């Protein structure tokens, strides 16, 4: 198949690109050419600003891609659409050019606070706490409207917290600084009591589910979340990171509302997503992509991250260093405890 990925080099999309290439597909990557491209020479690059729709259409017209149907692509997947307007522009651009359009939403769009801890694709979408999630809901609505009114061949995909060997997950972003804090005996912030349930997904596992939706007629007009089946508490998540290092992590538990006052930059993502116990049921993706079976436990994923860093030390400096924010929150919390005491 001939597949166009808008993005294609990010944390989630890079694993999709890699798997599609392994499967023998022709993969086009559309981006501005400013990100690291580990697939250079293996993909066909379309270097253009996706927001410049005149330039984008001109670039597409110059491609020699032809699918069996006579359309330009068998599938187009947008990993960097964030609101309804992004999808509306894609509908205008790719109508008649593709047999399938996959757009990346977010599992954070599901109802918050949840009525039930177990979440399926039939769980309502409603998040009053996080603008990012509300924009994703708007994006989904635009996609389904195009499907209903214009027969535009839409598939919606909702990842949750997905990481890769290049980036270690944490509350303050994706980078290796979390490992360094544990290794050096510095504390980590955990929201609440650390007992809320969560699923961390390795990007290579996600890619299997995603690739299985491409060209799959049962995926059209449907939404799927794709996550790990392993359910951990946030305490267990950080403890797994420490176990991979051979160091017991020092965890400082901080109330979510205290985070709002001391470090509002991460508050919305916690209040609107990570503070709730959620178990995402993967029955739907498994019923359509029958070989989908996530294999990488979070502990194994952390070991893979460390092994990769040993061979590629440059990843240790990737991502923003949130250490100052972590220290600020912990200092403020310790002062508050002393005041109460």
Residue spans of alpha helices (H) in 270-314: 283-288, 298-311
Whole-angstrom distance, CA of residue 134 vs CA of residue 293: 30
Helix (H) or strand (E) holding 191: strand 188-191
pTM score of the predicted model = 0.94
For residue 230, give the 3-state DSSP assignment. coil
Closest of 64, 86, 108, 63 to residue 6, by C-alpha? 86
What is the tens place of the pLDDT at every residue in 111-157?
999 999 999 999 999 999 999 999 999 999 999 999 999 999 999 99
pLDDT of residue 328: 92
pLDDT of residue 65: 64
Residues 170/163, Cβ–Cβ less than 8 Å: no
Which tokens sit at 225? 């979340």
**DSSP label at residue 98:** B
What is the tens place of the pLDDT at every residue in 80-94?
999 999 999 999 999
Whole-angstrom distance, CA of residue 50 vs CA of residue 56: 6
Which tokens sit at 165? 């060997």
What is the tens place of the pLDDT at every residue in 321-331?
788 889 999 99
pLDDT of residue 67: 47
pLDDT of residue 34: 65
pLDDT band at 18 (very low <50, low <70, confident <90, very high): very high
Segment 47-74 shows an average pLDDT of: 80
| Residue located via tokens 């996600």 | 206
Structural domains of the chain ordered from first start: 2-162+200-226 (3.40.50.720), 166-199+230-279+297-334 (3.90.25.10)
pLDDT of residue 339: 86
Dihedral class, residue 111 (left if φ above 0, else alpha if ψ from -120 to 50, else beta): beta
Which carries the bigger pLDDT value, residue 341 or residue 266? Answer: 266
Which tokens sit at 98? 């593709």
pLDDT of residue 175: 79
Whole-number mean pLDDT of the chain? Answer: 92
Residues 271/261, Cβ–Cβ less than 8 Å: no
């Amino acid at each position: 198949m001939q597949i166009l990925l808008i993005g294609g080099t990010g944390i989630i999309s890079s694993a999709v690109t890699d798997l599609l290439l392994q499967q023998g597909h022709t993969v086009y990557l559309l981006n501005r050419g400013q990100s690291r491209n580990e697939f250079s020479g293996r993909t066909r690059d379309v270097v253009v600003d996706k927001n410049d729709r005149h330039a984008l259409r001109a670039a597409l017209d110059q491609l020699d891609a032809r699918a069996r149907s006579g359309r330009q692509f068998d599938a187009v997947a947008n990993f960097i659409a964030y609101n309804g307007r992004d999808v509306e522009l894609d509908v205008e651009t790719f109508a008649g050019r593709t047999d399938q359009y996959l757009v990346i939403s977010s599992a954070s769009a599901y109802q918050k606070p949840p009525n039930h801890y177990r979440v399926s694709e039939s769980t309502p979408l409603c998040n009053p706490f996080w603008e990012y999630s509300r924009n994703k809901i708007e994006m989904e609505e635009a996609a389904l409207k195009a499907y209903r009114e214009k027969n535009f061949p839409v598939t919606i995909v909702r990842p949750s917290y997905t990481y890769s060997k290049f980036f270690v997950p944490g509350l303050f972003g994706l980078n290796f600084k979390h490992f360094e804090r544990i290794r050096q005996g510095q504390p980590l912030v955990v929201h609440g009591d650390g007992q809320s349930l969560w699923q961390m997904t390795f990007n290579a596992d996600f890619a299997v589910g995603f690739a299985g939706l491409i060209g799959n007629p049962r995926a059209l007009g449907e939404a799927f979340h794709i996550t790990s089946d392993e359910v951990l508490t946030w305490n267990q998540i950080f403890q797994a990171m420490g176990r991979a290092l051979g160091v017991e992590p020092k965890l400082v538990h901080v109330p979510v509302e205290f985070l709002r006052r001391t470090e509002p930059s991460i508050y919305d993502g916690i209040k609107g997503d990570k503070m709730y116990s959620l178990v995402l049921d993967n029955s739907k993706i498994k019923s359509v992509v029958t070989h989908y079976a996530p294999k990488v436990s979070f502990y194994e994923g952390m070991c893979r991250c460390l092994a990769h860093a040993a061979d590629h030390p440059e990843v240790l400096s990737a991502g923003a260093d949130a250490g100052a924010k972590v220290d600020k929150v912990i200092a403020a919390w310790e002062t508050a405890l002393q005041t109460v005491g």
